[in-house]
Amino acid sequence: MDAITDNLDLFVSGYWTSLKICLIALVGSLVLGTIIAACRVSPVAPLRWIGATWVNMIRNAPLTVLLFFFAFGLPEIGVLGSYWVFGVSALIIYTSAFVCEALRAGINSVSSGQAEAARAIGLPFGATLREVILPQAFRTSIPPLGSVLIAMFKNSAVLGAFGVGGDLFSVSDTLTSARGYAATPVLLGVAVGYLLITLPAGALLALLERKTAILR
Amino acid sequence: MSGGLVLYDVPGPRARRRQVILAIVVGLAAAGLIALVLHRLNAQGQFEAKLWDPLVNPSDKNFAAVWGLIGDGFVNTMKAAALAIAFSLSLGTVIGVARLMLGRWTRIPLVGFIELFRGLPVVISIFFASRVLPDLGVDLSGWPGGEGLWFVVIGLTAYNSVILAEILRSGVNALPKGQSEAAVAIGLSRLQTMGIILLPQAVRIMLPALISQLVVILKDTSLAAVLGVYPEMLNAAKYIYLNLDNPIQALFVVGTIFVVINFALSKLAGWVERRLSRSKRSPGQDTDDEVRYITDTAELAQ
């Protein structure tokens, strides 16, 4: 276990880098995903097509292909940046497709009678959306949205394997390849790091799911 | 149901006119954006024949070699995915059934095992397999297909078997209680109840979620390219563009292959789901909703 105790500072800094990547990707993918979800449910047909194309293309391509495309394709057309920027952008774009689908499923789960009733009592469009539909849609979206975000944290490990330096995964690579520590204890340390996030997040999600469940 | 129906009233003449105008504006803006991107690609010489010819022109001297590489990569991707699916399904069934049949206390270690592998990124599982197994003295190099294949298969199986176990478990739990009660009433043992009454129905209603999981497995095989342990399709693309200096073109072709296969699989999952929820033998509306929810959630947790 020397590998872990000797390099605790490295593990901790790797942990923070992973969290930082995820925090940025969280905000970015929620914003982008919401915009695309809005496109997918809009009454304007071309917007719906754009949203559908985006989701179907990105959801069915591996994150790794997106990463490669960003890091090695974009420089070819003169878009330069660090691995860090490319990696986080790819993660945001990949996750946005899943965020969009979670939100859209939530909106579609609200029965049309709700909107009809809201219009029947004279609520204008904005109020129908704000007071009746979105609150219900959001509650239904919480469990799938939570799974998406937990999956995103796990996907951030791919960035580390890809060479975005400093995160929890790349710590294991540094220690085992460059510094010659035995792989088993190092990887156990890294695994614990990921589980420290994913297990409580999963438990929290299950709790939220029970609290926000609606009887239909 | 289309999203528009919930949110909006049937449009009147004025709203319809506004929508048409907006549609034209958005269409023009999108066309402009695409033109801009194409122009940019063109200005940077990305449509030059020497970048595309090895991929699209059969008379190019590299065409045969390039598609040979992509073909080998494709076969390797499919091989890893097929093995991972077969092992995950069998192991997942055992884990799922065990979790359902063990008592409250005896299943604790199993639940721990499930939570452990479910919470671990797949890329770590594969990396684990490639580093820790040799560390522990497990030598896979003599296995058919080479050790790289087995690192990927073991890593993918570790993750996907517990996911499939959980999908199967939700399937069994979603069945009406009367099913197992009736099985007990006619004198079947618990194992028989599980094997011939509950599991077949659970597999049937969980089929869409199981197919969606295939998409995940197929996509995750490409993690091997990042770790550099196994020559699958993305690795082939990498090899091609390192030699021919055409990353955009090579990645475009391989990316398209992935998208087409996975899109077809997703459509198949949707089709199976619609068929099942229409069929008269399906065990009731509640189960259908539950299934749709589980399917959606499984799809999203990628």
Q: Is A110 on the interface with B (CB under 8 A)?
A: yes
Contact A3, A181 (CB under 8 A): yes
User: Same domain, yes or no, for B262 and B141?
Assistant: yes
Task: Give average pLDDT by consecutive 10-residue segment, chain B, 302 residues.
Answer: 60 86 92 91 82 80 85 91 92 91 86 87 88 77 81 92 90 89 91 90 85 88 87 89 86 92 89 76 51 58 58
- B144: distance to nearest CA of chain A, Å? 25
The residue extents of the domains of chain A are 2-212
Question: Residue B40: what residue type?
Answer: R
Residues A77, B46: C-beta atoms closer than 8 Å: yes
Q: What is the pLDDT of residue B3?
A: 44
Contact B7, A107 (CB under 8 A): yes
User: Same domain, yes or no, for B195 and B67?
Assistant: yes
Q: What is the pLDDT of residue A57?
A: 92
CA nearest neighbour of B160 among B101, B203, B212 = B212
- Chain A from 163 to 192: CB within 8 A of any B CB: 169, 172, 176, 182-184, 187, 190-191
User: Same domain, yes or no, for B15 and B158?
Assistant: no
CA–chain centroid gap for A172, Å, is 23
Q: What is the pLDDT of residue B282?
A: 47
| Tokens (6 digits) for A1 | 């276990």
Q: Which residues of chain A have pLDDT under 70?
A: 1-3, 165, 214-216
Q: Give how far Cα A32 sits from Cα of A37, A100, A136, A143, Å.
A: 9, 8, 21, 19
Q: What is the pLDDT of residue B293?
A: 57
Angle, vertex CA A143, rays to CA A101 and CA A128, nearest 5: 65
Task: Residue B123: list chain A partners with CB under 8 A.
Answer: 157-158, 161, 169
Q: What is the pLDDT of residue B302?
A: 56
Q: What is the pLDDT of residue B34?
A: 92
User: Same domain, yes or no, for B33 and B78?
Assistant: no
| Tokens (6 digits) for A88 | 């986080």
User: Same domain, yes or no, for B10 and B150?
Assistant: no
- B185: distance to nearest CA of chain A, Å? 32
Q: Is A57 on the interface with B (CB under 8 A)?
A: yes
Return the CATH number at B75: 1.10.3720.10
User: Same domain, yes or no, for B173 and B282?
Assistant: yes
Residues B219, A119: C-beta atoms closer than 8 Å: no
Structural domain span for residue B251: 52-300
User: Same domain, yes or no, for B145 and B226?
Assistant: yes
Number of domains in chain B: 2
Q: Is A35 on the interface with B (CB under 8 A)?
A: no
Which residue of chain B is at minimal alpha-carbon distance from A55?
B263
Neighbours of B21 (CB within 10 A): 11
Determine the CATH number of domain A2-212.
1.10.3720.10
User: Same domain, yes or no, for B104 and B20?
Assistant: no
- A210: distance to nearest CA of chain B, Å? 15
- Distance CA(B128)–CA(B126), nearest Å, equals 5
